[in-house]
Amino acid sequence: MERTDGGMPMKIYRILIVEDDRVIAKSIKQHIEAWGCSARTVRDFSDVMHEFAEFNPHLILMDIGLPFFDGYHWCSEIRKVSQVPVIFISSAADNMNIVMAVSMGGDDFIAKPFDLSVLTAKVQAMLRRTYDFSGASNLIEHRGAILNISDATLIYEGNIVDLTKNEYRILQALMENRGRAVSRDMLMKRLWETDSFVDENTLTVNVARLRKKLEQAGMQDFIQTKKGIGYLV
């Protein structure tokens, strides 16, 4: 469903608010929801990437001074897997911080204190520029691993894990069904969607190679075997 706000058509966009001041975060969230968007405030500042992947936002409002790691760090981590717009919101509005925010991948900067109507206008403009011609990237997160469907990349602890086409398709099927066993037949059908026929032995070899790559990246026992059924992540 769409609505209008000040003459601008608004889709149901998801906005992630990374702000540790609960009063400010709540105020922003309520204001964003009032003009028809979905908003979420980060709860675990030690693992912002988990909440980012879980919520899959269209735009992020990012404070600089945060517990554990600052906003620059999280913006840099997000840029490894996504080009989602990031607007920094901070009272540290000197030239050095603004330049740093942009250099770390930020798209805009709003100085605190700010008027919520100004914030709304900035967010609307950024959403319009970004999504009039393109959609948000699709991310799947599980146990700290992030699979980006839009460019077929796997990120774990900030590092890219190189996968072959078959390995990617196997992992995609497993992560799409995380917590549920996926049969070998289903995995073979997924691989048949590519340009080659896959038999039982080929699937076994591909799963073994995928497991080895995941373990080398630090993802121990990421793929479990369910005897007589298939595999589970």
pLDDT more than 90, % of the chain: 27
Looking at 131, 162, 180, which one is the last position of a domain?
131
The answer on 226 and 164 residing in a single domain is yes
Domain count, the chain: 2
Mean pLDDT, all residues of the chain: 83
Q: Are residues 193 and 93 in the same domain?
A: no
Single residue among 131, 159, 177 that ends a domain in this structure: 131
Confidence of residue 221 (pLDDT cuts 50, 70, 90): very high
The helix or strand, by DSSP H or E, that contains position 8, with its residue range, turns out to be: strand 8-10
* CATH number for 219: 1.10.10.10
Quick one: 94 and 14 in the same domain? yes
Percent of the chain with pLDDT over 70: 88
Same domain, 11 and 126: yes
The verdict on 84 and 159 lying in the same domain is: no
Residue 101 and residue 213 in one domain: no
Q: Give the start-end residues of each E strand in 56-188.
A: 59-62, 86-90, 108-111, 139-142, 145-148, 153-156, 159-161, 182-183
CATH of the domain at 8: 3.40.50.2300
The pLDDT tens digits of the residues spanning 75-127 come to 988 888 888 899 998 887 677 778 887 877 888 888 888 888 788 888 888 88
- In one letter, which amino acid is 81? V
Is there a single domain that holds both residue 118 and residue 218? Answer: no
124 and 15 co-located in one domain: yes
With 70 as the cut, is the pLDDT of residue 181 above it? Answer: yes
Residues 103 and 147 in one domain: no
Query: Are 201 and 109 within one domain?
Result: no
User: Which tokens in the block code for residue 228?
Assistant: 């007589």
Question: Residues 11, 37: one domain?
Answer: yes
Banded pLDDT at 195 (limits 50, 70, 90): low
| pLDDT of amino acid 102 | 80
- Give the residue ranges of DSSP H helices in 19-135: 22-34, 48-55, 71-79, 95-103, 116-131
Calpha distance 208→200 (Å, rounded): 12
pLDDT bucket at 1, cuts 50 / 70 / 90: very low
Confidence of residue 194 (pLDDT cuts 50, 70, 90): low
Residues 104 and 147 in one domain: no
Give the model's confidence band at 2: pLDDT under 50 very low, under 70 low, under 90 confident, else very high: very low
Which residue among 79, 100, 131 closes a domain?
131
Q: What is the mean pLDDT of residues 14-39?
A: 89
List the one residue out of 23, 25, 75, 28 whose CA is nearest residue 48.
Answer: 75
Residue-number span of the structural domain to which 61 is assigned:
3-131
Confidence tier at 9 by pLDDT (50, 70, 90): very low
